[in-house]
Amino acid sequence: MLWLIVLLVTCLYYISRKKLQYFSSRGVRTLPPIPFLGNLAAVTFGKENFVEAIANGYNEFKNERYFGLYQYLVPTLIPRDPELIRQIIVRDFNAFSDRGVHIGTDCDPMFGRNLIMLRGSTWKSMRTVLSPAFSATRCRSMAPLMAESAEAVVQHLKEQVSGELLMDVNEITTAYVNDVIASCAFGFAVNSLKEPNNCIFQLAKTAVVQDTTQVMKFFGYENMKTVLKMLDVKIIKRKHAEQFSQLFKSALNARRENLAGPRPDFIQTLVDAAQGKLKQEMELDINSNQDKCTEKFTDDDLVAQAVLFYVAGYDTTANLINYFLYEMAANPEAQQRLQQEIDTMPGGEDVDLYEVVQELEYLEMCTSEVLRLWPLVGSADRRSVQTYDFGPTYPGSQDRLVAPPGIHVWLPLYSLHRDERYWTNPDVFDPERFTSRNKAKIVPYTYLPFGTGPRHCIGSRFAVLAAKVFLTGFFKKYSTRCTERPRRLCPRAFILRPAEGFNITVQPRN
Ligand code: HEM
């Protein structure tokens, strides 16, 4: 028996060694990989976040246009050169139209249906159906729903905070974002601070938070798909998928029967799409994709897109607000200037909140800077669908990678945002980088908090608006203060967040 195990381990070791020579045999630089674990040993053992694993190579190979990294045994190319990044995500999009990790409906019927996982023409059709839900017109009508949820938080703080209070602000921001998504995507009015046991908040907290197990499942699917399928491992557990499904379908049916009248939310978009009412709005929105939708989608497909708000929008938007509150706490002068700007906001029922929030210039500068320092999704992924010539490894090099279809690409967003070649004092919070004059000087493709090209974040307008509506409500009444900088990123999380949480002092303004 023992010799059989030794034989098996030896065989696996040699297979692993062979796979881990992919880059070195082609002249592509890579940090020394570890058998089986590739370059993710520290990530696996909870020592660093995977954006730090990317940063190790990014900072080491300063002269390369790209370098290699192994997600366990999967060779993954990291482009460093902004021009190469443009080619991959914009110019040659047709060669990189898929995402890296693919979890199909055969593995996870709900997760496999969402826009992030879809491929080819199915992705294109679904993107066309969903785009109007995030148009300026729709976001404008969602702004008052967001304001109601923000007001609920301020009201809660009024009852809880008389002097100053040290708190993990994630508790209030996740409640707010849950209420916004419940209201804007599912059509339910909930107040998660008052009723923390409401089923949709419980579901959000248990089903989709990007914790350690979720991250390991993702990497597992890429490296040992058959094993995970056999073990019936799902990103969204069957029980949670059923609960989400019931919730959303009941809301969808009520809307179809027009029981509660139309509401400016996501469900309405889906109902309108089915009835062909969206054409006019799509024509108004210059960002919407006006290609013809060629596929028919079932209610299960639609449920998966509503859950997408939780999968892609819940943790990200809450942490955008958290980091913002933290940066204001750490930079009191910026906070004061922001509050002065917010104090000038016109109020009243007739005000177009969407317009008013867009006009707050300093709020926009601070939001952009928070997203530079803390791009919540620190790396975006692609996978090639055609043979691709990545060009010389560095300018003038004889080595070049010509890869067959299937090569994984990770875009190093976090590293680009902190590269001193593109940003002076990159670790310093400085909103002045985003005045309209300075913005024009940013090197193209070095600032990509929402990615770019046809697969850019579909929810960016929604997320930024939700964050701004919360922040204007909050900073009108409260200030933040803190003494400690977050020391390290939470390892094994896809979303950037500090390992120690966001402990910030909140105090009412005079
Ligand atoms: C601050 C909040 C957010 C950040 C920083 C963020 C960032 C990103 C990034 C970097 C990508 C990859 C883009 C690329 O590959 O080029 C992405 C994709 C995506 N995001 Fe967001 N996101 C946020 C909020 C949201 C929200 C609220 C939604 C709402 C549903 C959302 C839905 C998506 C979807 C569906 C994709 C995949 C798009 C596709 O493959 O076609 N995101 N996001």
Structural domains of the chain ordered from first start: 38-508 (1.10.630.10)
Q: Is 209 in the pocket of ligand 1 (CB under 6 A)?
A: no
pLDDT one-digit tens code per residue, 495-506: 899 988 899 999
Residues 6 or more apart in contact with residue 428 via CB below 8 angstroms = none
Q: Is 459 in the pocket of ligand 1 (CB under 6 A)?
A: yes
Determine the number of helices (DSSP H) and then strands (DSSP E) in the chain.
Answer: 21, 9
User: How far does the centroid of ligand 1 lie from the alpha carbon of residue 165, in Å?
Assistant: 33
CA–CA gap between residue 89 and residue 91 (Å, rounded): 7
CA–CA gap between residue 502 and residue 323 (Å, rounded): 8
Q: Which two tokens stand for residue 36?
A: 């089986």
pLDDT one-digit tens code per residue, 341-390: 999 998 877 889 999 999 999 999 999 999 999 999 999 999 999 999 99
pLDDT one-digit tens code per residue, 427-442: 999 999 999 999 999 9
Q: Is 416 in the pocket of ligand 1 (CB under 6 A)?
A: no
Q: Which atom of ligand 1 is nearest to the CA of 89?
A: 16
> What single-letter amino acid sits at 272?
D
pLDDT at residue number 211 = 62
Q: Which residues of 30-59 are buried (b: 16+ CB within 10 A; e: fewer)?
A: bbebbebbbbbbbbbeeebbbbbbbbebbe
Probe residue for ligand 1, chosen from 99, 122, 177, 457 as the CB with the greatest number of ligand atoms within 8 Å? 457
| CB-CB contact of 463 with 313 (8 Å) | yes
DSSP 391-438: EESSTT-S-EEEE-TT-EEEE-HHHHHT-TTTSSSTTS--GGGGSHHH
Q: Is 463 in the pocket of ligand 1 (CB under 6 A)?
A: yes
For ligand 1, atom 36, the nearest C-alpha belongs to: 457
pLDDT at residue number 20 = 92
Q: Is 320 in the pocket of ligand 1 (CB under 6 A)?
A: yes
pLDDT at residue number 155 = 94
Q: Is 90 in the pocket of ligand 1 (CB under 6 A)?
A: no
All residue ranges of the chain with pLDDT < 50 are 278-291, 294
For ligand 1, atom 9, the nearest C-alpha belongs to: 450
- Cα 319 from chain centroid (whole Å): 10
Q: Which two tokens stand for residue 27?
A: 């002249």
User: How far does the centroid of ligand 1 lie from the alpha carbon of residue 228, in Å?
Assistant: 26
User: How far does the centroid of ligand 1 lie from the alpha carbon of residue 311, in Å?
Assistant: 10
Q: What are phi and psi of 358, to 5 degrees?
A: -60, -30
Sheet holding 66-71, edge to edge: 66-71, 74-79, 408-411, 380-383
* H-helix or E-strand spanning residue 325: helix 315-330
Q: Is 100 in the pocket of ligand 1 (CB under 6 A)?
A: no
pLDDT at residue number 207 = 64
Q: Is 266 in the pocket of ligand 1 (CB under 6 A)?
A: no
Q: What are phi and psi of 348, to 5 degrees?
A: 100, 165
